[in-house]
Amino acid sequence: MVSCNHSQSKNSPELNEFISELDNKSLAEIKEEVNNNVNQFESFTKFFENSFSNEIKTIKKKDEKYEDEFKIDTTGISKALNQFNDVTFVQTFEEYESQLEFSKNNDGSSSPMKLDEGVSQKITPKTIFYHNGKIRTDSIANYEVDFHFNEAWGKAKPIDSINITYKINYVKDYDFVEVSLDKPKVSYKGGEINLVKAEGNYIYFTLSDTIASPIKIQGYNAEGKVLDESGYSNNGIAPGKMKGAFTEILGYFKKLQKKLNDDDFENTAEFQEYLKNNLSNLDFFNDNDGIFHKQHYFYGNVKSIKLYFENDSESRETSFTARNYKPIKETDDLFVMETEDATVFLNNNGEPQITIAGSYGLENIRGNFYEDNNYFYYLNINKKQLDTLFVYDIEAYNNGLIGILPEQENDHYSLFNSNNKPIGSKSYWFTKEVGDILFGITADHKFYILDENANATLIPGVAKVYDKLSNDRIMVSDINSKIGFVNSKGKIVIPFKYKNAKGFEDGITAVKFNGTYKFIDVNGKVLLDTKEDDIDFLKKDNQGKRIYSFDYGKVSYNYKGELIEK
């Protein structure tokens, strides 16, 4: 209930915040928490009996561990600003509320980048674009953009996309102050830093509480090497006085516990009043000495420390748009929401349209096709019922078509439209999606591009389709492994002639033919011959743009195909 590491500022606002957090709790809940916490606190004070002073030790030279000296590194800032260029969210509905979970899709890491010291970030939603056309900008700044958990995002209404600003604040310039046994007392910005004790791996110093918190503290051994830190504790109370403070708090909690268990309070408000009147009397909450006590432990025998203070900071901001992971195709799609005993289908405005008794645990496949653990379903809007589909598997494609395997894994795909009606004249042994483009492959190894009406356009000569669509070009190869490119309509715009190639980006790519790598544009026109025959793995620069490098980095070109001077 009370954190051990509290800040240097006066404690009443914290106390008030702590008290107001009890607003929504019942006395019964508070009683249970206090009973639990007293037990935990008791074992905690036992811990303090063997206080930190027992961990002071001398470290042998060979056991020393070091770390790098602090420096501001702003190269990560650009990277951090560009990390959100492909963000999607999964929206689910529960009890008439929206839940969103975000996901980063561009560089293999699903969480936001970890930031260095002195860097802080803030992610703020600015505009929500609902599927019904409404746009909302007010009271959304507090909705949480979380990459691991579902967070509440207001009433149940389908969202197409969200504009979000990302702001980074980082230390641009800093001061540092060094304190050592030779120079134990230093003045800084009207306050004082005092080295009280340095023994073995332990150092204890104090800071006037008028000095802002340092952004980094590093310890040095006798040779001036930076030691790795193994632990620290910051407090308003001097070490040695901690135990007394905790014993006082424990006694107080025990008193509280007795009063609660004896039902001395009528309601939560009375309890809060009691806390307000009594807690502020505790010494623990009255930090009178104006000093912050810091104890640090290192993997080495520490002789001096450097404290780094922020002098100047800078902010940079960028915006990005997070899209709904399942783009909503039809304007009249319904959305499923589970309540305790029913499955409710809502329209774009969050209004229930169809209610079906029973909780299915339905997951939307696409449009009106759903599944749960045991069955596939089609939501029959006209009949206001869920039709069970007894098939082996259902696949939904980005262009709105549905592929169904009726009986077995080895079946051919039959194509259906969004109204569960069969469509198209062929069935396909295999289907493959590249972006929004759907390829169907028949049993005789012919490749077709399928539009949203299942009209099939044969792409002659194709034996393989590669995975990326960009600049309206998809890489394909023929039966001799020669590479060419098709457009999204299925036209072979660059015939099969390359021995090796990368996908397009920013309008160009590198391809190998006649022995060397050349840059070509989207029409296959050669822009430049690099004269190199060996390409390295593609890299990205700090702005997220492609770098083409050849022959183990000996020669590099930027995303425009311009030579990068070394």
Partner 1 sequence: MKNVLILLFLTISISITSCNKDALKYDFSKIKSPSETKDLIAKMQLENIDKKIDSTSNFQEITLKGMHYAGVPIREALITDNYTLLTTDSLNFSAKKLLEILEVEKGLTNPTESYSGNINFVWNDETENKKLDINLVNGKHLASFRDKDYAELTITYNPVYNIPLAKIHHKIKTFENQPKYILNIKAHDCVYNVIINDIIITESSRESKFNLNNYITGPVSSLKIIPKKNKGSKNFNENAFFSATITNKDNKETIKKIEQITLKGNNPIVLETEFNSTLPYYPKAWTDGVDLRNDKDLKAKIIALYDKIGKAFLAKDKQAINETFYQKDFEMQQLEFDTNFETARDEWEAYLAVQLNSYKYTVANDYDIVFNADGKLIYTHAKDKSDMIIFTGKSYDKTLNYYLYQPKGSNELKIIR
**Amino acid sitting at position 229:** E
To the nearest whole angstrom, how small is the minimum distance from the Cβ of residue 410 to partner 1?
6
395 binds partner 1 per the rule CB under 8 A:
no
Distance CA 490, CA 184 (A): 76
| Pairing mode, strands 304-324 and 87-94 | parallel
Pair 485, 493: CB distance under 8 Å = yes
Question: Among residues 526, 525, 517, 522, which one has the least CA distance to residue 557?
Answer: 517
To the nearest whole angstrom, how small is the minimum distance from the Cβ of residue 343 to partner 1?
18
To the nearest whole angstrom, how small is the minimum distance from the Cβ of residue 373 to partner 1?
8
Distance CA 163, CA 168 (A): 17
Which is nearer to partner 1, 377 or 498 (by Cβ)?
Answer: 377
Question: Among residues 158, 99, 100, 129, which one has the least CA distance to residue 346?
Answer: 158
Q: Which of residues 312-351 bind partner 1 (CB under 8 A)?
A: none
Which is nearer to partner 1, 50 or 410 (by Cβ)?
Answer: 410
Pair 204, 241: CB distance under 8 Å = no
Q: Which stretch binds partner 1 (CB under 8 A): 297-305, 313-321, 348-356, 370-378?
A: 370-378
406 binds partner 1 per the rule CB under 8 A:
yes
Contact pick of 43, 410, 480, 514 for partner 1 (by CB under 8 A): 410
Q: Which stretch binds partner 1 (CB under 8 A): 191-199, 367-375, 422-430, 479-487?
A: 367-375
To the nearest whole angstrom, how small is the minimum distance from the Cβ of residue 395 to partner 1?
11
DSSP string, 384-404: TEEEEE--SEEEE-TTS-EEE
Pair 30, 268: CB distance under 8 Å = yes
Pair 160, 130: CB distance under 8 Å = yes
Q: At residue 452, what are phi and psi to the nearest 5 degrees?
A: -70, -5
Angle between helices 268-279 and 12-20 (to 10 degrees): 170
Which is nearer to partner 1, 34 or 394 (by Cβ)?
Answer: 394
Site string for partner 1, 373-392 (x = CB under 8 A): xxxx-------------xxx
Q: Which stretch binds partner 1 (CB under 8 A): 142-150, 189-197, 369-377, 477-485?
A: 369-377
Phi-psi region of 95 (alpha: psi -120 to 50; beta: other; left: phi over 0): left
Q: Which stretch binds partner 1 (CB under 8 A): 101-109, 128-136, 402-410, 435-443?
A: 402-410
Which is nearer to partner 1, 47 or 392 (by Cβ)?
Answer: 392
To the nearest whole angstrom, how small is the minimum distance from the Cβ of residue 563 to partner 1?
53
User: Total binding residues for partner 1 by CB under 8 A?
Assistant: 14
Which is nearer to partner 1, 55 or 372 (by Cβ)?
Answer: 372
Q: At residue 92, what are phi and psi to the nearest 5 degrees?
A: -125, 160
Which is nearer to partner 1, 116 or 395 (by Cβ)?
Answer: 395
Cβ neighbour number for residue 510 with a 10 Å cutoff: 23
To the nearest whole angstrom, how small is the minimum distance from the Cβ of residue 401 to partner 1?
20
Contact pick of 69, 175, 248, 407 for partner 1 (by CB under 8 A): 407
Which is nearer to partner 1, 116 or 411 (by Cβ)?
Answer: 411
Which is nearer to partner 1, 409 or 565 (by Cβ)?
Answer: 409
Strand partners, 371: 363, 376
Distance CA 386, CA 473 (A): 40
To the nearest whole angstrom, how small is the minimum distance from the Cβ of residue 362 to partner 1?
13
371 binds partner 1 per the rule CB under 8 A:
yes
Which is nearer to partner 1, 428 or 550 (by Cβ)?
Answer: 428
Token pair for 136: 């909302």
Q: At residue 35, what are phi and psi to the nearest 5 degrees?
A: -60, -45
Residues that bind partner 1 (CB under 8 A): 371, 373-376, 390-393, 406-410
